Structures are given as structure tokens and as C-alpha cells.
Amino acid sequence: MTKLTGKCLCGEISFAADGDVPVMANCHCTDCRQSTGSAFAALMFMKESDVTVTGTPKTFQHASDAGTTMTKHFCGTCGTPLFTQNSARAGMLGLRAGLINEQAEFAPKVNVYTSSKMNATALDGALAAFEKMPG
């Protein structure tokens, strides 16, 4: 079991998580780049029931390239991106790895959507890489 804690920039929203982290990934899709303002999103996926959120994030929904509904959770005060959800993976919550206090716990295993990565982003050749979302 992995215990994680984190908060947004202003501290209005925090979380504590305790459970398995079956997927740790770097996503280079355009949506993740736009929603984070970064070259890619570093994500840790856990069961939503293993995460306790203090405060009430705002949400924004949009369609993915696969036609699923994506829900982005963010702080309404400071704008920090917090979590992501995909309707195709009900019950799972993607935590933004940059928010966690336990930095050593983040060890991505895969890069996804490498077809839309920024040219300046170097990929770790030891990680599996997929042009789109596998499976």
C-alpha cells in the first residue's frame, strides 16, 4: 500500500491517499499539456475510494479523442490542476504527481501519446512508450 499526501498551491484543497497505485504514467496528449500548462502530465492512478479530498475542487469536462468523457479537477482559488478522471475507467482517479509530498513514490512506467509530445521533450528509453493510449 502506498500512502500519499498533497495539496494545491494555496492549500485550500488537500488530499490523503492510501492504496495501490497500479498505473504511473507520463501523458503527452494535447489535452494534458493544455490542462497542466506543462510538456506532459505525470499521473498516479488510484481507486477513487482510496483518496480522501479535503475541500471542493471545481471540475471541467471534455471529450477525449476516443470519445470518453474526461473530468479535470482543479482548485477554484489558485487554479492548480489536481486530479483527472476518464469515464472509461470508472472508479479510478489520476493524481497529479507533482502535488505529492512523497516524491520518491513516483516512478513512471510508461509514456503515452508520444505522437503528440513536444519535440523538446526527451523520453526515457527504459520506459515503455505508446503513440496513443494502449489497450
Fold of 2-130: 2.170.150
Q: What is the pLDDT of residue 97?
A: 97
Instruction: Give pLDDT tens digits for 44-79.
Output: 999 999 999 999 999 999 998 888 899 999 999 999
pLDDT-derived band at 37, boundaries 50, 70, 90: very high
CB 100 within 8 A of CB 6: yes
> pTM value?
0.91
Start-to-end CA span in the chain (Å): 26
Cα–Cα distance for residue pair 87/96, rounded to 1 Å: 18
Instruction: Give pLDDT tens digits for 3-21.
Output: 999 999 999 999 999 999 9
Concatenating the DSSP letter of every residue in 13-54 gives SEEEEEE---EEEEE--HHHHHHHTSSSEEEEEEEGGGEEEE
CB 42 within 8 A of CB 96: yes
Domain ranges for the chain: 2-130
Q: What is the pLDDT of residue 135?
A: 67
